[in-house]
Structure 1
Amino acid sequence: MNKAQLIDAIASKAGLTKADSKKALDAFIETTTEALKGDDRVALVGFGSFSVSKRDARTGRNPQTGKPINIPAKKVIKFKAGSELADSVQ
């Protein structure tokens, strides 16, 4: 499902126009992004939670040459599915 299909599905299930659904989805994405940039956790009970984790710098290997390369430290976003979401997929 792509973004346009998701907007269509939200519009039909919530009884909203496609324009209102797009605004709501864009607002959710923007708000979630801002929260994660501030190292906050976004938890949606039953659905899941988004969080930021720090990955330490490490040494890796170039798979073509086998030479060691330095991989810098960075922040990564993690999503953990909630129990209701996980159960509904089973």
Structure 2
Amino acid sequence: MNNKDFISELSRRVGYSMSDTQRLVNNVISAMGDSFQDDDAVQVPNFGQFEVKKKLERIMVNPSTQQRMLVPPKLVLCFKPHAAWKERLKTSNR
């Protein structure tokens, strides 16, 4: 599902126009981004939790040259799904 399909389906479900729905989604994403900048986790009830984690500095080996390189620490965005979604995906028949 791409962005246009998502906005279309969401606007159909909530009964707003496509432009209002697009503005709403953009505002939610912007607010989430602001929270991530402040190192705050964002929990969406019955869906999951987004949080920023710090990956430590590590040594990596280039497989083709066997050269060792130092990878600097970095921040990554992680998602932990709600237990009900984990179970739902486990039992889905794909």
TM-score under structure 2 length normalisation: 0.88
Q: What whole-Å deviation, never above 9, does each CA across 1:7-29 have from its counterpart, x for those lacking one?
A: 11111111111001100110111
C-alpha root-mean-square deviation of aligned residues, in Å?
1.2
| Structure 2 residue aligned with 1:54 | 54
4+ aligned runs moved over 4 Å, structure 1: none
Please say if 1:76 is aligned against 2:76: yes
* Aligned AA (2:48): G
Residue by residue, what CA displacement relative to the aligned partner does 1:34-55 show, whole Å, maximum 9, x if unpaired?
1011000100111000001110
Equivalent pairs: percent with the same residue? 26
The aligned residue for residue 4 of structure 1 is: 4
Q: Could you tell me which residue of structure 2 aligns to residue 15 of structure 1?
A: 15
1: CA distance between counterparts of 2:20 and 2:70?
A: 46
- One-letter amino acid matched to 2:80: K
Partner of 2:39: 39
Q: TM-score, normalising length from structure 1?
A: 0.92
Higher relative contact order (CA 8 A, sep 6+): 1
The unaligned stretches of length 5 or more in structure 1 are none
